[in-house]
Structure 1
């Protein structure tokens, strides 16, 4: 695995010679900073400039092409990779670019030549790409031998069998493909999205639509993602689903190979920046592979490059079944950028074009709620709930979210009804228990029930600062100040810069006679930029004390544990 870009950038500076004497020192420093912050667009620009000053520097070359791959401009990385090959400079990312280009152009002789010359990306990529090159060359016997080699390679059996089955399906040997895909996982292919859809297509092409439906249902359950619904409908109608399998050409199969490696490594120790290389290479090899664009965009979003993520999501063709998923992702990337209105517009357009998809309306409700347009959020949630089935796993969440919007609009009866309905759908759900319990505490209602709810939530999530704060706060409201202190101190440990939690700790200290510490916590809370109403209340407490503020507000505190004078 190559070094992360941030570390490689440091190496680039170290290896590039006496940069202090270089008149273009700014490009080096800018490239280094861009790499450290994973700003790949800027890194690509500044490494390009630095490379013009020192065109043969191997570290600069590696980092320049890595940045270009990251932003999805693999074609800009190609000249650098070719120069490295010509001058005997070896690098994993350069090899990846060369292999991706040869595959994209379906130059199978070139792929084989590169492999035989010793070019290496990784065992899985190398072996399966070469096997597909033989398929592309029409040498199926050699290809099958190469696939069998991968089957015998430790850790690659499932991948080898899947690609062998896909190759057999491409050349029309559907029975042999079905035989491989029908084997139990320990003897054949470990189930994955690709294996399930490839098997579905093979069975449909064999005219076996009922088994195809069974495989589809077993693989994706009763509530599949929106892009899978069209496939389900086609199979139900006795139609072979177009494009459902892993790939229908060797080029598309290699693109899927690159993508599947990134998917297989996701969630492990591999950094998102490393996985991004393979996702972008897959999209370069086959621009029609929408899932590659979606994965690259999600990785960019995870890294914090929300603008690049939004642009990458936008590469998915509106006619592609994955377009809905991509647009939902684009809206989230725009929201993360702070471009809430743009995100709302994306989701509003999506809702008009996909008015029967509950997830779209639920997502629109979420972003309206975040923008504090609670009426619009409520409308969207109503629509989503009218579309979700009674047993849909997302129903509890949307019901809970609608309860929040009712509560924010001071519609407590409706809010409480939604919270309790959400708990019936998802008993013991900590977030719902906490929100309902805390709301009742704030209203001074059902404090014993609220305490029981929040204690249950805290037992489920003992490291949630918000829930531990709620537990301390209900004890405060019940006048159990000594107990409240312990929980409030723990809540501040978990949420050290939350103004509300810190303010609550100050109140609790005050009620046990620790006035100096209370004022210290209130001042800390002010430093965390609370909303104006809370800030004014804290300032008033600092002036006259908590009990006077409560008296001014018409509240009657429980018997104070200690005299604060």
Structure 2
């Protein structure tokens, strides 16, 4: 299976080929939209690419490569009807095109044309992923009324562990769909007290099946365990309330065989979450939601990928498809806020999360996300308040909560509330003693405060041992040596830090200071000039320019005099 739907090399080659072979009268009309489309395509800018390709197709309507490119970006952009049109036009000339087959198969499933879907799934010329094809075949047979035949397909799936597991999982779904919850529960119970949970759908199916066969206590124990591990979860909380009331849960996860087949698309979308296959993941995901329009788990996944690709506006629109009553609504709103922030719409991002925090004041992740967004926008006091609301919801801090104390500590440190910051950093270390980010941040802060220098050095050395390729942590090690007047020892780590983070102004500035202290003053001035070229904060830039004019020794003497003057003023009460 290909993991690259459309590469820059292919796009550039097609641009030349299409323009070279286009009729003279149409060449000028093709060149502009095609080149614009291919450039948008290379940037993963799917919506503009789809529109430019539409314009190009009006000139070169029979070119298979152009139709294929247009089909791909239209499907990914959510323009499924346009993508389907491209697939139908391609099938007569490129029937072995796997992407064409996936698109037409999705349309057959959406229309519940199970006979057509089964024929496509069984046709080796379609070049479908074997596991995927078997899952679709099984559900198509069930859709045709041949339940035993569909079950036999799932039972016969073998070859490797993944294929066998998904065969069992879909076998459980099929039995639950048919109302045989005893068999579904037995399959999902797994072996050796290890439930067969591969995704959210298996968990929900397991809970429903247990409740339907008078194993409500087992279902309640399972849901309590899941909530304890994962925090607040509206869907699981609702299930728990119904289980406590003695109710049997309804199986509405798969309402028709096509929904089961849609989950096969979702399996591949999830399995292809790697950098070189994100487009293929998006392609499978969009087709899954075409078959099953309210497939919110997959919709959220699609939006997450788009946000990762910095296609923020399309990601925002996709997150907005998840309705407030959905179990995925909170995650989608947090994702939407992150996309808004990424798009530079900071106030809107904060408002989304503020509103969500009012709607769901009991969800730690909401307050945490609000704190992160405020902190990223340097609203540190408000960030600390948001994090504090999250901390208040923790009954007993555990290891997984270390980050919450760490980021609140950062917010306190940035608002000059050091005592609170240090307390949070030390709590984070109690929960996760060797966490390198906390060790580095607390250690570096102590160095800057000239406090507990030996402890600070120990913390930073432990952080470097875990993250030797982290330029910022390596810089901290060089800087603590500098603060301890161990200048010769500081040179190596500081030079290494600049190698790892060559364009960071602070690290280059630090190296300049260290080099000055060991007598390499010409090199020090070079590093300070480099630091200035990387646009440091204005106060740092002023200090660097002063060092270039007068030298580090003069600057340090001036700063010491100012410090003594401030101390004297404080002592006199002025």
Q: Say whether the fold is shared (TM-score over 0.5).
A: yes
Residues 69 and 243 from structure 1, CA distance in 2 versus in 1: closer, same or farther, beyond 3 angstroms? farther
Contact 2:231 2:364 in 1 (8 A): no
The residue aligned with 2:260 is: 253
Change (3 A) 1:555 1:511: farther
Structure-2 residue corresponding to 1:198: 205
- The 5 A counterparts of 1:275-424 are 275-424=281-430
Give, in whole Å, the separation in 2 of the partners of 1:156 and 1:186.
21
Rounded to whole Å, the distance in 1 between the matches of 2:430 and 2:160 is 50
Residue in 1 aligned with 2:11? 9
| Shift of residue 10, structure 1, vs aligned partner | 3.2
The answer to whether residue 230 in structure 2 is matched with residue 231 in structure 1 is no
**Superposed CA offset, 1:448-476 (max 9, x none):** 22111111111121111111111110110
Summarize the alignment of residues 87-106 of structure 1 with structure 2, pairs less than 5 Å apart.
87-106=93-112
Residue 92 to residue 482, structure 1, CA distance change in 2 (3 Å): same
Evaluate the alpha carbon distance shift between residue 189 and residue 200 of structure 1 in structure 2; reply closer, same or farther with a 3 A threshold. Answer: same
SS at match of 1:389: coil
Q: Is the 8 A contact 2:478 2:489 kept in 1?
A: yes
**501-510 or 269-278: bigger deviation:** 269-278
Provide the residue aligned with 1:562 in structure 2: none
Q: 1:218 to 1:355 in 2, by over 3 A?
A: closer
Equivalent in the alignment of 2:163:
156
Matched residue SS, 1:150: coil
Instruction: Indicate conservation of the 8 Å contact 2:477/2:493, yes or no.
Output: yes
Counterpart pick for 2:503 among 497, 516, 523: 497
* Distance in 2 separating the partners of 1:372 and 1:160: 50
| Higher mean displacement: 493-502 or 383-392 | 383-392
Deviates more, 1:369-378 or 1:542-551: 369-378
Q: 477-486 vs 210-219, which deviates more?
A: 210-219
Distance 1:265 1:236 in 2: 38
Which of 148, 154, 165 matches 1:141? 148
C-alpha contact (below 8 Å) 1:258/1:278 kept by paired residues: yes
Give how far 1:556 is off.
11
- In structure 2, the residue matched to 1:551 is 557
Match of 1:23 among 14, 20, 28: 28
Check whether the contact 2:95–2:126 (CA below 8 A) recurs between aligned residues. no
1:168 correspondence with 2:170: no
Which runs of 5 or more residues in structure 2 are unaligned? Answer: 564-574
TM-score (norm 2): 0.91
Alpha carbons of 1:293 and 1:192: their partners in 2 closer, same or farther (altered >3 Å)?
closer
* Root-mean-square deviation over aligned CA pairs: 2.4
Change (3 A) 1:307 1:161: same
* Pair 1:266-2:268 in alignment: no
